Every structure is written in C-alpha cells, then in structure tokens.
Amino acid sequence: MKFSGLILSALFFIVACGPRELDPDPASDCSNCESWNQPQDPFRIYGNTWYVGTAGLSSLLIEGAEGLILIDGGLTQSAALIDSNIRAAGFDPLNIKAILVSHPHFDHAGGVAALQRLTRATVYTSVEGAKVLSTGELQSDDPQFLSGPEHTGFPAIRNVVAIGDREVVSIGGVDVTAVYTPGHTPGSTSWTWESCALDTCYDVVYADSLTAVSAEGYRFVDGPAADQLIESAGTIADLDCDILLSPHPFFFGMQDKLEIRGEGNPFVNNVACMIYAETSLDWLQQRLQAEGR
Ligand SMILES: [Zn+2]
C-alpha cells in the first residue's frame, strides 16, 4: 500500500511539473479561415525579427537578450501553428514575456488567449483595444460590430494591459513603441522597433490594417472611422520605416518577397510604408464613393 502510494505521488509530481503545453480554444469558422490558416515555415525577416505566423495571418517574434515578444496570435486554430513555428525557429515559447496585439478582431486576437495561457505573458494593446480583448466582444463603434458576436467574437484574454499612444513596451532589451492608428477598428495599434544585424540597423513598422471593411449596414461616411483612417494613413507614412510588416502578409507582399529572397533582402524598402498609406487611402476613396459620398 505504502509503495503504490509512493508511485502515485511520483506520477502526480511528473504530470503536475511536466512541461506546459498549448491548450487550444475551439476553431473559428469563417469563409477565409481555412486559406488564412495554411501552414507557413517560420523565417527570419531581419536581425531580431522573425515571422512565425500562418500563410495568411501574421505573427511576429522579436528576440531580446532576456526574453521574447510575440505580436498577434491569428485565429484560435492558428495558435498551435504559431507555437510549433516558434519552436521550429529554435525558440522556447515559454520565454515569451509580452504578447502585443494590433487590433481586436478574431483573425488576429483569436489565438492570443491560448498563447497567453501557455506563456503566461502580459498582453499589451491600446486603451480601446484592451476593452475588447478582455471581453472577446466588439464594442458598438467597431465597423464589424453589426455582424454579431457569433461571427466576430473570440476567447476573452486575461492579463491585458492598456498602453498609451507612443508609449514603449520594454522587454529583454527590446523597446517596442505603440502607435495608435484607429479606423479599421477604434483600437487599432501599429508597433515599431529597431532591428539590427552586424552594423546595420533598420526601423521595423508593423502597420495595422487600414482597410475600410465593415459589416453590412455600416457606413464609413457617417462615423469617425473615415477621418480616423485618413489621419492614421498619414501617421504610418510619417514613421521612420525601413521594413513594413502588417497583420495580413498579403499587404506587404510576403510570398513574392520570399521568392526573390536570394537577391538581397527584399523586406527592406524605405518607401513601403508610404505606398501602404497611399494604397489604403485609394481603397477608402473607393469605399466612400460606393457609399455615395
Ligand atoms: Zn480586422
């Protein structure tokens, strides 16, 4: 009896103290979910900055001397791919100290709750974004609110810290600055940091989505979102920017750039933020014309 009791407590000890593993939330269902969630091999973009997302949804890892920063978590079903990409790139997800979020939509924040439980990292986003992340439900001023919680909801996230415009998150020797860029959502946040290799340092900008997309029935003409998008495009265009990244890899031409990677580093392009801003304004103009302005 005594012996089997010992074995049982030894087993309990092994289970309780074994490595933490990802405990994913139920998969989201949407028309683009399957194509967005196709696997993508992780790769180093430049210096301390790695791509660890899926083929259609960005997730970035920034390597500091004493800890890692993750940006965005894709869909709920992306969390497992991100976890394995981080490991495949040679990092331990348990060293992630902070998870930064661009905007609180289910395709960028859906996987964050599970990744937060795994890593026990603090989650940072804007004041407006934090309200949505903490509940998993959009507020009524979000252009996608009218689609309803069954389409727009995602797992609520614990341990969210709201950060102000131009405030800095410093983790493990890396400083990442939050830049408010509202419009696509009221809480949209871009993030910028420096990435160095050998003697050359570049300013990296993770520019949040500036697309004027919404639920049916919403009009950009009627609310503040159109003016916010115009101002945010100006903000992005004015940033020091050598490398542009964004929540959908399509917006920074990731696949095309990977194909020509042998010839230098195609991710380095100091006019990319300007072009991103101009393209967004063109899309907004089309949307406003369609709405009859
Ligand atoms: Zn979105």
Sorted by where each begins, the domain ranges of the chain are 38-290
Contact 170, 187 (CB under 8 A): no
Gap from CA of 103 to ligand 1 centroid (Å): 7
Residue-level pLDDT at 293: 62
Distance CA 229, CA 186 (A): 10
What is the CATH code of the structural domain delimited by 38-290? 3.60.15.10
What is the full per-residue pLDDT of the chain (293 aa) written as tens digits?
455 666 666 555 555 566 789 999 999 999 999 999 999 999 999 999 999 999 999 999 999 998 999 999 999 999 999 999 999 999 999 999 999 999 999 999 999 999 999 999 999 999 999 999 999 999 999 999 988 888 899 999 999 999 999 999 999 899 999 999 999 999 999 999 999 998 999 999 999 999 999 999 999 988 899 999 999 999 999 999 999 999 999 999 999 999 999 878 999 999 999 999 999 999 999 999 999 86
**What does DSSP assign to residue 146?**
G
Whole-angstrom CA distances from 14 to 2, 114, 120 are 19, 23, 21
Residue-level pLDDT at 109: 98
Residue-level pLDDT at 128: 98
Could you tell me the pTM of the whole model? Answer: 0.93
Residue-level pLDDT at 3: 55
Gap from CA of 42 to ligand 1 centroid (Å): 23
Gap from CA of 184 to ligand 1 centroid (Å): 7
Residue-level pLDDT at 20: 86
Residue-level pLDDT at 19: 77
Torsion of CA 22, 28, 31, 37, to 10 degrees: -10
Gap from CA of 212 to ligand 1 centroid (Å): 10
- The tokens 């990435």 sit on which residue? 195
Distance CA 109, CA 159 (A): 14
Distance CA 49, CA 43 (A): 9
Gap from CA of 85 to ligand 1 centroid (Å): 23
Residues with CB under 5 A from ligand 1 (ion): 105
Question: Catalytic residue positions?
Answer: 103, 105, 107-108, 184, 218, 248
**What does DSSP assign to residue 195?**
E
Gap from CA of 167 to ligand 1 centroid (Å): 23
Residue-level pLDDT at 292: 84
Of the candidates 31, 29, 44, 22, which has an alpha carbon nearest to the alpha carbon of residue 92?
A: 22
